[in-house]
Amino acid sequence: MTTAGGPPPTWTIDAVLKWATDDFRSRGIDKPLLDAQVLLSHALSVSRTQLVIDAKKPLAPDELARFREMVRRRRAREPVAYLLGVREFYGRPFRVDKRVLVPRPDTETLVDVALARTEARSLSMRALDLCTGSGCVAITLARQRPTARVHATDISDEALAVARDNALRLGAYNVSFARGDLFEAVPASLAPFDVITANPPYIASGEIDTLDKDVRDFEPRLALDGGNDGLAVVRRIVDGAPGLLDAGGTLAVEVGAGEADATALLFESRGFRRVAITRDYGKIERVIDGIWG
C-alpha cells in the first residue's frame, strides 16, 4: 500500500479514517466521515466511540485488509447497509443484502400510522403487509403488537427468505409469509384484516436511471419500478384492498415524493373515507391512509 493508492505509512485508526474520509469525499459520497467510521467500526468489531479512544492504535494487517476491502466496495457505491449486512429499523437490527431494499427511516412513518389507526383493535389486530421485502414493517408490527396476527407477502422468493430469517432472529413468531403477487398470496381464511400496509415499488420507470448509484446499481429493480408514473402497483393495492378489509379497517400506503395527492385521490375515488396524508421525518408527504366501510 502506498500513499497514492492507500493509507499513509502508519496505519493507525485516525490515519486510515482520514484516508478513507478523503477518498470518499473526493468521489462525491455523502457523509464520507460517517461512512468511514461505520465501516471501520465494523471491520474492527468495536464501537465508534472506541475508535476515538484508540485513535493512535495501529491496525493489524488482517484488520487493515478487511477495511480496505470495505472501502473498495463503498467506492463502487455499494450501500453501507449491504456492506454491514444489517440496517436498524424501529430500533431493531434487520439483516439485509442485495435481495431486498434497504429499510429507510421514511418507512417507520408507515408503521407509526398503522399502529395509531389500530389502537382500538390492538389486542386482536389482524394485519396484512404487502411487498414486505426484508419484512421490516410486518415484523415491527408483530413485535409492537405481540397478540396480533400478521401476514406478509412478496412476489420475490429471495426477499421472503430474508424476511423469514429476520422474523426468526427477531422473535416475531406471530407473523407468516407467503409468495405471490399482492393479494393472490392471501388465504381467504385470514381475512378480513384490520389494517393493510404496503411499501410498494413507486419510482417511475423513466426515473430509475437518474437515482443515486447506491440505489440504481445495487437495490433490486423489482422493488423500485412503479411503472410509467410510479403508481401502477399503488393503484392495484387501492383497488383490491377493500375486498380484504374489515369494516372500519385501514389501508396505509407509502409513496414517493410528489405522489401523495394523486394517491389520496385514488383512495377517495375507491370509496375510502377520512383519507389522510402523513409526512415522514424529512417532512415529505410519505404515507396515505384511509378507512374502509
Q: Is residue 150 part of a domain?
A: yes
- Tell me the pLDDT of the chain (293 aa) as tens digits: 444 455 556 789 999 999 999 999 999 998 999 999 999 999 999 999 999 999 999 999 999 999 999 999 999 999 999 999 999 999 999 999 999 999 999 999 999 999 999 999 989 999 999 999 999 999 999 999 999 999 999 999 999 999 999 999 999 999 999 999 999 999 989 999 999 999 999 999 999 999 888 899 899 999 998 999 999 999 999 999 999 999 999 999 999 999 999 999 999 999 999 999 999 999 999 999 999 98
Q: Outline where 102-224 has alpha helix (H).
A: 105-117, 136-144, 157-169, 213-216
Q: Which segments of the chain are extended strands (E)?
A: 86-89, 92-95, 126-130, 149-154, 175-179, 193-198, 245-254, 273-279, 285-291
Q: Is residue 72 part of a domain?
A: yes
Strand partners for 276: 289
Q: Is residue 197 part of a domain?
A: yes
Q: Let me know whether 138 and 181 are in one domain.
A: yes
Q: Let me know whether 43 and 155 are in one domain.
A: no
Q: Is residue 7 part of a domain?
A: no
Q: Let me know whether 148 and 212 are in one domain.
A: yes
Cβ atoms of 272 and 290 closer than 8 Å: yes
Q: Let me know whether 236 and 180 are in one domain.
A: yes
Given 38, 54, 76, the domain boundary residue is 76
Q: Is residue 2 part of a domain?
A: no
Given 27, 54, 76, the domain boundary residue is 76
Q: Let me know whether 252 and 117 are in one domain.
A: yes
Strands 149-154 and 126-130: parallel
Q: Is residue 37 part of a domain?
A: yes
Q: Let me know whether 169 and 35 are in one domain.
A: no
Cα 65 to Cα 23, 25, 72, 182, distances in angstroms: 16, 21, 11, 44
All three cell numbers of 33:
466521515
Strands 193-198 and 126-130: parallel
Q: Outline where 125-277 has alpha helix (H).
A: 136-144, 157-169, 213-216, 232-240, 260-270
Cα angle value 202/263/104 (rounded, 5°): 40
Closest CA to 201 of 227, 175, 171: 227
Closest CA to 199 of 141, 242, 244, 116: 141
Q: Let me know whether 70 and 94 are in one domain.
A: no
Strands 245-254 and 285-291: antiparallel
Q: Let me know whether 52 and 156 are in one domain.
A: no
- Give pLDDT tens digits for 132-162: 999 999 999 999 999 999 999 999 999 999 9
Q: Is residue 5 part of a domain?
A: no
Cα 115 to Cα 21, 146, 148, 244, 254, distances in angstroms: 40, 12, 11, 18, 14
Q: Let me know whether 160 and 47 are in one domain.
A: no
Q: Let me know whether 174 and 229 are in one domain.
A: yes
Range of the domain at 32: 13-76
For 25, the 3-state DSSP assignment is helix
61: cis peptide before it, omega within 30°? Answer: no
For 101, the 3-state DSSP assignment is coil
Q: Let me know whether 102 and 25 are in one domain.
A: no
User: Whole-angstrom Cα distance, residue 218 to residue 76?
Assistant: 10
Strands 92-95 and 285-291: unpaired
Q: Let me know whether 139 and 280 are in one domain.
A: yes
Q: Is residue 82 part of a domain?
A: no
| Contacts of 106 by beta carbon, 8 Å cutoff, 6+ apart | 254, 280, 281, 282, 284, 286
Cβ atoms of 204 and 112 closer than 8 Å: no
- Give pLDDT tens digits for 43-63: 999 999 999 999 999 999 999
Provide the domain count of the chain. Answer: 2
CA count, 13 A, side-chain hemisphere, 105: 6
| CATH number of the structural domain spanning residue 141 | 3.40.50.150
